[in-house]
Every structure is written in C-alpha cells, then in structure tokens.
Amino acid sequence: MLKRNGRVLWWRWRHNPLKRRSDVAEAWIGVAAAAVLLLVPPVVSVAATAVAERSALDQARGLHRVTAHLVEDAPATLSRFSGAATDNHVQATVRWTTSSGSPKSGTALVAAGSRTSAPTTVWLDDADRIQPAPPTAVQARSQGAAVGAAAGAGACVLALGGCWVARVRLDRHRWAQWDRAWDEFDTHRGHRHA
C-alpha cells in the first residue's frame, strides 16, 4: 500500500468495501478535469489568438491612406481632462481631396502643436469618411496574444468550475446518504428499546 504523509495514495482506485460509487465518480471527474485542463485551454488559446489576429488585420480592408492638411493650428498642449487626446495627438480639422477630386473636411487626430496646412495622414473608408488607423502587424499580434491568453484562462476557469460544481453535488449526495443512514440507525435503535 503506497502512503505519503500518513495518507493512502490512489485509494479511490483500490478495492475497498467502504468505497462508495460517489468516490469512484469523484476520481473519474478528477481524471476528466485533468485531461480537459491539459488539452482544451491550449487549443482554445491558439484558436482565439489566430481569430483575433486575423480580425485585427481585417480592419485594414477597405481602408486607404490619404494625405490631408490641417485647416487650423492644432492645440500645442494636451488637456488632461478632454479625453480626446491619445499619446501626443489632439483632434483637429483637416481637409483632403477625395478620389473623385472634390475637397472634403473632417476631424482627425494630429500631432499636438501642428500648424495650419501641415500634412498629416488619415485613413478613409470607401465612402471617404475618416476612420481610426488600422492596427499594424505587431499590434494585431499583440491583440491576438491577449485575446488568446484570456480565452485560455477562461477555459481553465470553466473546467475548474465544472469540477468544483460536480464535487459540491457529490458532497451533497453523500451528506444526504449519511442523513438517511443515521435516520435508519436511530429507527432501528429505537425499535430495539421498545
């Protein structure tokens, strides 16, 4: 008999007249949970990474880059509370020429402190509306890795949560069995004294 720290190892797999079906079920649930934890999270993580990266790169489809010029000076200082500034960029009005040759204007992020008529790059959709710049390949890879890690962690949480729920249900079943056994014992005991 294998023992470690006074505990018998692999007791659920040994023949024992006191072993209950719920003990065997709990052992198999543990084996299934270990298999799920070894197989599912890596597969889910790799698949989610690929889908998220492809989705990020697909954002560039239908967009084209155009050089626009500032209509007015861009603010030189960033407002901490405006919420419009990202990094060293501010919102400003720009003008560009559409593919049909007509002038158009809109609001885009430009470098803080840029002067009137300074060139800047904007991304346009097929309707010549300004869109956010699509992610670069490195940014798409980073987004994919983050989504993949979150999906893998989520798969682990689901597997462990399922195992925990199964164990709680088995424990409740065992407690109910104990209650029935004690009630039966008390009933027999009471009949003996009567």
Give tens-digit pLDDT for 34-89: 999 999 999 999 999 999 999 988 888 888 889 889 888 887 766 565 554 456 88
Is residue 38 in a domain?
Answer: yes
Structure tokens at 189: 């005991």
Task: Give the whole-angstrom CA distance, residue 117 versus residue 90.
Answer: 16
Task: Give the whole-angstrom CA distance, residue 32 versus residue 45.
Answer: 19
Is residue 73 in a domain?
Answer: yes
**Residue 87 sits in a domain of what CATH number?**
2.40.50
Question: Which structural domain range is residue 34 located in?
Answer: 22-60+135-157
Q: Are residues 74 and 126 in the same domain?
A: yes
In the chain, what is the straight-line distance between the N-terminal and C-terminal CA atoms, in Å? 45
Task: Give the whole-angstrom CA distance, residue 110 versus residue 69.
Answer: 10
Is residue 15 in a domain?
Answer: no
Looking at residue 85, its pLDDT comes to: 44
Task: Give me the number of domains the chain comprises.
Answer: 2
Q: Are residues 67 and 125 in the same domain?
A: yes
- Residues with Cβ within 8 Å of 113's Cβ and at least 6 positions away in sequence, in order, are 74, 75, 76
Q: Are residues 66 and 118 in the same domain?
A: yes
Q: Are residues 125 and 147 in the same domain?
A: no
- Residues with Cβ within 8 Å of 131's Cβ and at least 6 positions away in sequence, in order, are 63, 123, 124, 125
Is residue 187 in a domain?
Answer: no
